[in-house]
Structure 1
Amino acid sequence: MDAGLVLRFPLLFSLPPAGRWLTIQFDLGLAPATIDAYGRALVDYLRFSQQHTFVVETATREHIAAYVHHLANQPAVRPTPDRTAGLANATMQQRLVAVRLFYDFLVEEGLRTQDNPVRRGIYTPHKGFGGSRERGLIPHYQKLPWIPSDEEWSALLTVLKQEPIRNRLMFALSYDAALRREEICTLQTGDVDPTRRLITLRAEATKGRRSRVVPYSPATGQLYMAYLHQRQRLSRQRGPLFLSESRRNRSQPISIWTWAKAIRTIARRAGLPRFTSHTLRHLCLTDLARAGWDIHEIALFAGHRHTDTTLIYIHLSGRDLADRLAKSMNSVHAWRIALLEGLASVN
């Protein structure tokens, strides 16, 4: 049993099957962010079960339905114009995936005699054109990610100029290389090649467990060299690139939570509450699509396993639609001009 997991999720480990399940996921080598998401989701469900006094191991579909209602109607942590209550659809899906996998474990271990109470979507290949998928427990919405406008980007950079050099470098690298927060926080000093301005992302530090090499800009290179001088005052040893400067964790590797908190502070000061650490990745990939990069090139740069994910950024950029509209308008324009030319032959 990992002591770190017990300290982070004491409530979860108070229920032995839950602690065993999360420990197995940890031992299987799942990404730290995935382990954390599973742990937080299951803790939330256990708290709900305590508040409504039902036994987790024998929960019914009625209990799960009540939990879904709870997720959909609790006050929104970050309200938006189109959602003032409830968790985001993606967050609800994430919570229910963890609960469903936990009940799979209980059934497989013989700790639960009933079926899994969390419904799955059912694929029926004989229905419709090319088959269809019946909805699962809740509908799944595929929304395009939010990205800042040019004016909002300028506001962010104005605020960023007042940040420490470490935060400025992490911000710039995250955009340049479309890095996830786990990838930026786990960078090692040996992962950066300043002579060629390249970053090597190790497989074990990526979501898809696939290594890749990505470039960064000359401006970010200047920030990197300036940060190295500051880092030497914290530690001269090789290892984690970004170190904490706080008194409590001085010289310790920066955590994803510290970085997320720093981004929230920057976003709040810029008046952009929807901006997160992942927005930098969304913006970079969208800009690459706007610049005309091929979908497979963007997928390789981003570390996507499937181009279906990459298509989101093609849609967000509007590149294909804009090109098609321009071509259509050109053809219509040429057709109208041809008709106008016919007027010259009329006496």
Structure 2
Amino acid sequence: MRRKKQTSLLIDDVLEDFINSCIDRDLRIKTIEYYESTLKLFCRYIEDVFKVTDIKFITKTMCKDYVIYTKERGKYTFVSDSIKAETNIPKNRNDYGKKVGVATLNNYIRNLKVFFNYLVDKKVIKVSPMDGIKMFKNNRIPKSQITTEEYNRLIRYLDTTKFHEFRDYTIIQLLMDTGMRIGECLALKVDDIDLNYRSILLRQEITKGRKDRYVFYSYIMSKMLKRWLQYKDRYVETDLLFCTKGHNQLAISNFESNFQKYVKRAKIDKHITAHVLRNNYARRFLLAGGSIFELSKLLGHSSVLVTEKAYADITVEDIRKNYQRYSPLENMNKQRH
């Protein structure tokens, strides 16, 4: 009896179906873009090296080979689109050829697992070729810290007589006082701010977890926000809290670029980014006696476990400085007197 011929499943077509499913599930654009870019790299490698164009013929050995290749190759030395490479010229990048980080490598592996599990669920393939391929152990690097002296020096070096530096000065202070993400901060509208209760509504359309949440700010920050709003309204008409002079939303990349200029201007010899302010907010919140459960809510984490993992690097020196407040003997002695 003649065998029934198997239907060919072209890698590119299957990948397109997967991306469309991500759109249907309403995943964030950045997430979909990351899936697409990393998976296209994988598909290009499988086609170039193994001459395989049918998804059913991808094996675990091929996947392992790709993972090892990705680990050993340099950044941007392999691209999914040679035409774009001619335009973007990756060789001109400062990090061209540098080692791919373990965290990035693990993200690639995770994306491949998600992709092939999707194909198993859809009964496109019977078994995922990524089964049994483990993530690489990632030795955790403690998060950068900015000292009080460095922070004060940083904000002192901003020229608040200029529109964009006064705006960035206010953003930096708000990030340090609330712990919100830079993307959330730049998407804020004036109506999201409650000046009476000193709270900010982070709408679900701008949060990473797609849920509304509130953050709170201090009395000092309240005065800064009022000054900024009065100043902004003199020159720009927009419902955005922070904007360019052209009335547009400030891009994260533009703020990060400005931020690095301020760090350099203040002669801070550390790798400090806007996200470091969020890290420092969390650390200082915990050291001041704040609850990790409250912190998890304020940061918008999916669980307390995520918060514990992210901020598990409070130093011995931090604990030493704080210990006197928590010493049982010291507290009992105070009660006696």
Is the TM-score greater than 0.5?
yes
Q: Which residue type is aligned with residue 115 of structure 1?
A: V
- Cα distance in 1, alignment partners of residues 25 and 235 from structure 2: 34
1:156 aligned partner: 154
Q: State how far apart, in whole Å, the 2-side matches of 1:102 and 1:255 are.
A: 30
Q: Contact 1:244 / 1:252 at 8 angstroms: preserved in 2?
A: yes
Aligned partner of 2:179 in structure 1 is 178
2:293 to 293, 296, 305: 296
The counterpart of 2:275, out of the listed 264, 268, 278, is 278
Inter-partner Cα distance in structure 1 for 2:325 and 2:289? 16
User: For 1:244 and 1:53, how far apart are their aligned partners in 2?
Assistant: 49
Aligned partner of 1:73 in structure 2 is 72
Q: Is the 8 A contact 1:234 1:251 kept in 2?
A: no
The one-character-per-residue Cα deviations of 1:40-91 (angstroms, maximum 9, x if unpaired) are 4334435545664654634333333333334433447888xxxx95233322
Verify the 8 A CA contact 1:183 1:205 in the aligned structure 2: yes
Following the alignment from structure 2 to structure 1, what is the Cα–Cα distance between the partners of residues 325 and 199? 38
SS in 1 for 2:174: helix
C-alpha displacement of 1:308? 1.8
Distance 1:22 1:225, change over 3 A: farther
Whole-angstrom CA distance in 1 between matches of 2:197 and 2:327: 43
Describe the shift of the 1:320–1:224 C-alpha distance in structure 2 as closer, same or farther (beyond 3 A). closer
1-structure distance, mates of 2:45, 2:260:
28
Amino acid at match of 1:22: I
Query: How far apart, in 1, do the equivalents of 2:103 and 2:316 lie?
Result: 23
User: What residue is the counterpart of 1:166 in the other structure?
Assistant: 167
TM-superposed deviation, 1:220: 3.2
* CA deviation map 1:232-277 (0-9, x unaligned): 4675343x433234xxxx3232333333444344445545563222
Alpha-carbon distance in structure 2 between the residues aligned to 1:209 and 1:266: 32
Q: How does 1:202-217 map to 2 (within 5 A)?
A: 202-217=203-218
Structure 1 residues 192, 324: closer, same or farther in 2, change over 3 A? closer
Question: Could you tell me how far apart the structure 1 residues matched to 2:40 and 2:258 are?
Answer: 25
Deviates more, 1:209-218 or 1:263-272: 263-272
Give 2:143's match in structure 1, choosing from 120, 142, 145: 145
Cα 1:196–1:36 change in 2 (3 A) is farther
1:256 to 2:255 alignment: no
What does residue 113 of structure 2 align with?
100
Could you give the per-residue CA deviations for residues 101-133 of structure 1, whole angstroms, max 9, x where no partner exists?
12223334454x363222457xxxxxxxxxxxx
Residue aligned with 1:97, SS: helix
- Distance verdict in 2 for CA 1:233–1:315, change over 3 Å: same
Counterpart residue identity of residue 256, structure 1: I
Please tell me whether residue 242 in structure 1 is matched to residue 255 in structure 2: no
SS of structure 2 residue aligned to 1:115: coil
Cα shift at 1:222? 3.9
Supply the distance in 1 between the matched residues of 2:158 and 2:286 (Cα, whole angstroms).
Answer: 25
Contact kept? 1:212, 1:301, Cα under 8 Å: yes
What does 1:14-93 align with in structure 2 at a 5 Å threshold?
A: 15-46=12-43, 48-49=45-46, 52=49, 54-55=51-52, 57=55, 58-75=57-74, 85-93=98-106
Letter in 2 for 1:60: T
Q: Residue type of the partner of 2:130?
A: V
Percent of matched pairs sharing the same residue: 21
Aligned to 1:6: none
Evaluate the alpha carbon distance shift between residue 155 and residue 320 of structure 1 in structure 2; reply closer, same or farther with a 3 A threshold. Answer: closer
1:64 maps to a residue whose letter is C
| TM-score, scaled relative to structure 2 | 0.70
Give 2:129's aligned amino acid: P
Which segments of 5 or more consecutive residues in structure 2 lack a partner in the other structure? 1-10, 76-92, 330-337
DSSP-derived class of the 2:180 partner = coil
**Equivalent position SS for 2:271:** coil
Structure 2 counterpart of 1:344 = none
1:203 match: secondary structure: coil
Q: Is the 8 A contact 1:314 1:320 kept in 2?
A: no
**Post-superposition offset of 1:307:** 1.8
Distance 1:243 1:274 in 2: 26
Q: How many residues align?
A: 294
Change (3 A) 1:38 1:222: farther
Going from structure 1 to structure 2, the CA distance change for 1:329 and 1:304 (only over 3 Å counts) comes to closer
Q: How far, CA to CA, are the matches of 2:235 and 2:23 in structure 1?
A: 31
Change over 3 Å in CA distance of 1:244–1:325 after alignment to 2 = closer
CA contact (8 A) 1:174 1:280 kept: yes
Question: How far does residue 177 in structure 1 lie from its aligned partner after superposition?
Answer: 0.9
Question: Does the 8 Å contact 2:73/2:100 carry over to 1?
Answer: yes
